[in-house]
A and B are shown apart, each in its own frame.
Chain A
């Protein structure tokens, strides 16, 4: 879906990925229903770029991130990583591939084992993937990475509860980058942090991305954070990509009505602008993924919806170079 003419190798290619969960029926006699969390998602990610995935709760953004890393197994589609489809690999092959693919979680404290020291937590990927390292070498690597993420190496023997949320997130980041992975999925990494700490962690991620040549998938509900860190962006609604493209284009000229509404709902920290701008007021809540509406998923809340929207899912089309959307009534650039 993202086909801008940027140079660089394709690192990850996701094709028609669909992830479903089985929901147990309330009655013994009824069949379980299927919940489609990620629905026919395709995109390409080039090396060294950062892809932002935005959407509201329940849109499938976390499931998508985990389906890529094979933490959740998808039902259909392909995840092509270094020429191989991850969905075809054995669990052991996936385990080995994880050396190059790491994840950072939202809740920094909960994602650290309270009974392990910080040093052991950060060293764990090394013990798994580089078992031949001596103890001294491992400690050296841990101290090095602690320094790189802004932790004092003297804290190596402390336990997670002795750290603040921001520091704990730095530990999570250190653990993710110590094996020098190529791809890191960041799942709402700053949402649980205070504003001043959030800025520190974003700045750190930007620094590490440059130093280590990382490719990032940055999942967040916060549009301003995504705009700050991403090169490309995917907008998800009810498991489907409704709009995608390079960040600058999508943010300056969103084409899909949902993207427009989402952007216009984001509060702007400028009182004069906030008073002046006209806002799209969306009615109602997002539909339940258990019971998706027919046709376009956004159609029940969309002010542009017509009959065709209610019957057929709109195809994904190119809006302009570097931007595509799935909508029959999208804002297209004026003909030249």
Chain B
């Protein structure tokens, strides 16, 4: 069984966003594997441990992304592929590049995160599946693979669905799917020797026209800063009294005394 994981490198969740010259400053930022993609990597490595599987991790970006791919290799993935994303400006283009790569590859299970915590559009993985003619099940919290069939659990609008899917298929990982491991020291050592292949758009037979953007960013801004408000004084009784009035006011149920 061949499992492919689509993953992205993102800012750490504890990073503040700073704008310098109208752009998001990246100096000194701590980078991580997008947390939802990390669940996908972990799930793939578990499949490898439980069944006879090989795991390939695929990412799109510049050379710095190799660091995140090495982390996935250290977690237990076998191979990494880095598609040059420097010319890819929207989700459609990124999905085209990944699809072009996957179209030449045989696999059974495609895993990805539910969305990325930076861009948060949640488009790329589903576009890839659609382009390749594969079914998908998004935001899964449980996955069981048995032969050519997968059974998974997903939460949608307060309902819990159990879905069966024929492989090959895409599954996107939701929080709760698993608890990702930390790479072990031997894992980190081994990862250095595992293959990491760089792929260019030309390698994929894509021209600049094929990936010309359909969407462009025209502006970037930070939300207005919130100010610290008022500390309520008095004893618990007085504080609760004040809070109750504040809440009733804000929810339009004021007038109560």
Determine if chain A interacts with chain B.
no
